[in-house]
Amino acid sequence: MDKNLRNSGDYFVSLAPHIRSNDTVQRIMLDVLIALVPAAIASVYFFGLYSLAIMAVSVGACVLSEYAFQKLMKKPVQVKDLSAVVTGILLAFNVPAGAPLWMVAFGGVFAIIIVKECFGGIGGNFMNPALAARVMLMASWPQQMTAYLKPDGMTGATPLQILKEGGGDLPALMDMFTGNIGGVIGETCAIALILGGIYLIVRKVIDWKTPIIYIVSTAIFLLLFGVKADLLAYEVLGGGLLLGAIFMATDYSSSPMNAKGKIIFALGAGLVTAVIRAKGGMPEGVSYSILLMNVCTPLIDKFTVGEAYGPKKA
């Protein structure tokens, strides 16, 4: 996300010149929520009202956790900035339609308290809270997190699992676009995610470079690793690539500050995603690739920061 300033505690760590902006955290988060609406509607349409319950529980757990922690630590309560709501929706989008609500709630508490608030709150977290919670849930309850429901209510392999196993009938590409496939509730409808991404780019909430370079580089690396060209559409539309590239690789706090750093971040995420999908044992790799690049962000910033305008001091 193309912002010159990043809040690190009480300090701004970017170089001059600084661009003044009327943007607020609340306004930016509201735009992200608006961009997530199409995918939320698609999840309810394909997976039923239980997906709405998942979103409600996830958001509730995130908001209440943030409020309680900030009250307990005698910090300013910041739930009105809507960042916890965004985290809750993104976490909900990363769990299957049949996930137990208690597990979703636990993920929300982990995302906010452990990943976000324990590292200073908004602007201080070094990795995306929703993705970190997803990986924690996957490690703790792999059976529940991989029980992917199809829109018909039956469990079954996702398109990426079918590709990894090397056999089976792949769904029609139109079903991939519209979301009539199995997977976590927020990743299946490509059209809805693309519409949300276009909205964020038009509103200048995110820089187009990160999602586009991430997606394109993943496809290129997959080709280099031997994936057949006629299967690339399934690799791009299946799994969490669109969701991760648009909504999580662009996270302000855990992505690089400048344009060069964003390009490196996106290329690195594309490479790691392709390696995991093509050479690893798992069919998906988006969550791990973004989290790995989140950890690398301070190093990327260090080596890509530009020089300040004006004469150098002796």
184: how many CB neighbours lie within 10 A of its CB?
27
54-85 pLDDT tens trace: 999 999 999 999 999 999 999 999 999 999 99
- Show the tokens assigned to 288: 């791990």
211 φ, ψ to 5°? -65, -40
CA dihedral 89, 94, 100, 102 (to 10 degrees): -50
Give the whole-number percent of the chain exceeding pLDDT 90: 76
Q: Residue 304 and residue 261: Cα distance in Å, rounded?
A: 6
108-156 pLDDT tens trace: 999 999 999 998 888 888 899 999 999 999 999 999 999 999 898 888 8
pLDDT score recorded for residue 210 = 95
Interior CA angle at 206 toward 201 and 208, to 5°?
60
pTM here is 0.89
Query: Between 1.10.287, 1.10.3430, 1.20.1740, 1.10.10, what CATH number should domain 24-303 receive?
Result: 1.10.3430
Rounded alpha-carbon distances, angstroms, from residue 8 to 13, 32, 90, 123, 142: 7, 22, 23, 6, 35
Q: Residue 22 and residue 154: Cα distance in Å, rounded?
A: 48
Ramachandran sector of residue 243 (left: φ over 0; alpha: ψ -120 to 50; beta: rest): alpha
Domain limits, the chain: 24-303
